[in-house]
Amino acid sequence: MRKHASRKVVTLSMYRILLVDDEKMELEMLAHYIRWEDMGIRVAGTAKNGREALQRMEELRPDIILTDVRMPIMDGLEFSRRAKQIDRNVQIAFLSGHDEFQYIKAALSVEAIGYLLKPLDMEELHNLMVRVKQKCEEISISSQTSGVLKETYLRELFLENNPKIRSQWIEKLQLLPSPIPASGFFQILYITADSFSGPGIEAVMPIRQFVQTEMPCAFLCQIKEGTFAILYNRKLDASSLELTEMAEQLLRHASDSSSPLSIGISNVGMGIESLYDLCAAAKQANASKFYFGLGTCIMADETIVPVYEEVNPEPAITSICYAIAHLQEPTAIAEIQSFFATMRNSRIDQDLVGSTSLRLVTAIEQHFANIIGGGSVHSMYVDDWKRIARYATIYEIEAHITDVCLSILALMKDKDKDKNLHIVHQITNLIDRSFSMPLTIEDIAKNVYLSPNYVRTLFKDKMGETILEYLTRMRIQHAAELLKDKSKKIHEISAAVGYENVSYFCSVFQKFKGTTPNEYRKKLL
């Protein structure tokens, strides 16, 4: 049984924080060098791993926990799950390194109120603590009326995995002055207020107002900030479209909010024991907004089951970089759209879409690092990583990557005013037309009437890669396309892309693609 009775209600502005990190120096810095008191927060204690932090929670009863994600013995994610079992109201924020994309995705699923990147940015820390304190204040002053108790018990019922504990919450619900009908027919709406900047408190009022005025047979339960479940006690003879129409009306009612709503609708269930499964089904339907887009209403039987299949972004990277390098904006946009349409139509899992998209955009930025500026590439990566982790739909990720590519194209167009860039275009056009023939730097230099050394330097400066690297990439890219035709022999393909020596061709192909031509062909078949 969870212990809530011994929790001390904070009536002053000073809240208690527990700091958790396995790095001793990091922990000392967090505890002693941050001016917590200026933020209205007192350090209650520290712990060096999740297991120790759980032990200290019983003793310290913190209002806030700031924990590292990756730690030995018990990591931050497992610790946060157990901490929420001890105290559902404790506010948890995560610390994370830049290379932990999958950890951050998981962190967002365990009711974390936010996360911070290492090294800490004091302004970001302060802004997060303002939000955390506001949440603590809401919890500390909330009155335990019958309606609040019903909402609390329902939330626990919806979130509890253990059937035995769920039955205890059902018993509590039945003891309230206005209990939920034990044998009624129910449906659940699972609602998320989705916004990149974070769902604001303004999303709550339109939903509560709508339920009070338009859904007298319903009860609203706030699962967490920006997430709600509406329990609808429906009549047996009601139209199957009745709740869908109400959900669409709610979307219109809340359309002025800065956080667009997305709604998942369960099928009909009978009895209070069905509520947990109905909420899970509605939540899963809501998650399909990743493919349908924000502001959508999705029925349980429309739920998309994600496909866990790795996606190779290399062909798209090559095509997009080529289009950008040649200032072909429509082609670049079309390649991005095609890449995301393939993932969307294949129903690729959201985490895989996120990690693949991060690989795609990072490779593009690195390819044009000389155009962007070396120092800016790292900051762009951090921004890409944070944004992709928080986007709710594949459309938002696609739009972000399109914006990045258009920004690089704008820089390229500015560079195009450089009198030497047209020479580079001549060289790339020559290679694109003649890569199947023997080509030397001397041959290329003669075509543009410059010395070989000057051509080498100019091309590297403008394109970020050597002429040989560009030539080889074009040959291997074309060879990969030819391998799709199983009637063509490896030696024929080798000759067609300018390699007389088949063994050398196979060696170069494996270096670029990580596999031999034959193995690559087998994967295609």
Q: Could you give the CA distance from residue 208 to residue 255 in angstroms, rounded to a whole number?
A: 14
Q: Is the pLDDT of residue 190 over 90?
A: yes
Q: Could you give the CA distance from residue 122 to residue 37 in angstroms, rounded to a whole number?
A: 14
**Any alpha helices (H) in 289-349, and if so which ranges?**
289-292, 314-325, 329-345
pLDDT (0 to 100) of residue 196 = 45
pLDDT (0 to 100) of residue 1 = 28
pLDDT (0 to 100) of residue 416 = 61
Q: Is the pLDDT of residue 101 over 80?
A: no
In the chain, the number of structural domains is 4
Q: CATH code at 244?
A: 3.30.70.270
Q: Is the pLDDT of residue 178 over 80?
A: no
Contacts 24+ apart (CB under 8 A), 447-453: 448/423, 450/423
Inter-residue contact 391 to 400 (CB < 8 Å): yes
Q: Is the pLDDT of residue 455 over 90?
A: no
* Same domain for 137 and 19: yes
Residue 162: CB atoms within 10 Å: 9
The model's confidence at residue 103, banded by pLDDT at 50, 70 and 90, is: low
pLDDT (0 to 100) of residue 285 = 96
pLDDT (0 to 100) of residue 525 = 65
Mean pLDDT of 119-140: 86
Q: Is the pLDDT of residue 446 over 50?
A: yes
* Same domain for 137 and 31: yes
Mean pLDDT of 72-98: 85
The model's confidence at residue 11, banded by pLDDT at 50, 70 and 90, is: very low
Q: Is the pLDDT of residue 433 over 90?
A: no
* Same domain for 366 and 293: no
* Same domain for 337 and 264: no
| Last-in-domain residue among 386, 415, 444 | 415
Q: CATH code at 510?
A: 1.10.10.60
Is residue 459 situated within a structural domain? Answer: yes
* Same domain for 99 and 196: no
* Same domain for 374 and 474: no
* Same domain for 387 and 362: yes
Is residue 45 situated within a structural domain? Answer: yes
pLDDT (0 to 100) of residue 290 = 94
| CA 213 remoteness from chain centre | 35
In terms of pLDDT, which residue wins out, 288 or 381? Answer: 288
pLDDT (0 to 100) of residue 341 = 95
Q: Is the pLDDT of residue 379 over 80?
A: no
Specify whether the backbone of 9 is left (phi greater than 0), alpha (psi in -120 to 50) or beta.
Answer: beta
The model's confidence at residue 46, banded by pLDDT at 50, 70 and 90, is: very high
* Same domain for 123 and 30: yes
Residue 122, burial from CB neighbour count under 10 angstroms (0-12, 13-18, 19+): exposed
Residue 395: CB atoms within 10 Å: 17
| Last-in-domain residue among 415, 441, 470 | 415
Of 9-18, 24-33, 430-439, minimum mean pLDDT range: 9-18
Q: Could you give the CA distance from residue 524 to residue 486 in angstroms, rounded to a whole number?
A: 10
* Same domain for 59 and 44: yes
Inter-residue contact 98 to 385 (CB < 8 Å): yes
* Same domain for 114 and 56: yes
Whole-model pTM: value is: 0.59
pLDDT (0 to 100) of residue 20 = 94
How far CA 414 is from CA of 371, 407, 464, 485, in Å, comes to 10, 11, 16, 41
**Distant-in-sequence, close-in-space partners of 118: CB < 8 Å, separation ≥ 6:** 26, 95, 96, 97, 98
Q: Is the pLDDT of residue 336 over 60?
A: yes
* pLDDT over 70, % of the chain: 88
* pLDDT over 90, % of the chain: 39
In 9-153, where do the E strands start and end? 15-20, 41-47, 64-68, 91-96, 114-117
Tokens of residue 441, six digits: 């730097």
Q: CATH code at 120?
A: 3.40.50.2300
* Same domain for 129 and 36: yes
The model's confidence at residue 7, banded by pLDDT at 50, 70 and 90, is: very low
Mean pLDDT of 221-235: 89
Is residue 305 situated within a structural domain? Answer: no
Of 30-44, 112-126, 207-221, 235-249, minimum mean pLDDT range: 235-249
Mean pLDDT of 483-489: 88
pLDDT (0 to 100) of residue 206 = 83
Segment 509-525, tens digit of pLDDT = 998 888 899 988 888 76
Q: Is the peptide bond before 119 cis (omega within 30 degrees of 0)?
A: yes
* Same domain for 320 and 279: no
| Last-in-domain residue among 246, 273, 299 | 299
- Written as one letter, the residue type at 61 is R
Is residue 171 situated within a structural domain? Answer: no
pLDDT (0 to 100) of residue 4 = 32
Mean pLDDT of 384-402: 91
Q: Could you give the CA distance from residue 29 to residue 41 in angstroms, rounded to a whole number?
A: 16
Is residue 103 situated within a structural domain? Answer: yes
Range of the domain at 488: 421-524
Q: Is the pLDDT of residue 354 over 90?
A: yes
How far CA 30 is from CA of 90, 268, 300, 318, 492, in Å, comes to 19, 50, 45, 44, 63
Segment 249-272, tens digit of pLDDT = 998 887 766 678 999 999 999 999
**Distant-in-sequence, close-in-space partners of 353: CB < 8 Å, separation ≥ 6:** 290, 311, 343, 394, 397
Q: Is the pLDDT of residue 6 over 50?
A: no
Is residue 151 situated within a structural domain? Answer: no
Is residue 381 situated within a structural domain? Answer: yes
Is residue 307 situated within a structural domain? Answer: no
DSSP designation for 382:
H
pLDDT (0 to 100) of residue 30 = 92
Of 228-237, 301-310, 415-424, 425-434, minimum mean pLDDT range: 415-424
Q: Is the pLDDT of residue 421 over 90?
A: no
Tokens of residue 232, six digits: 């609808």
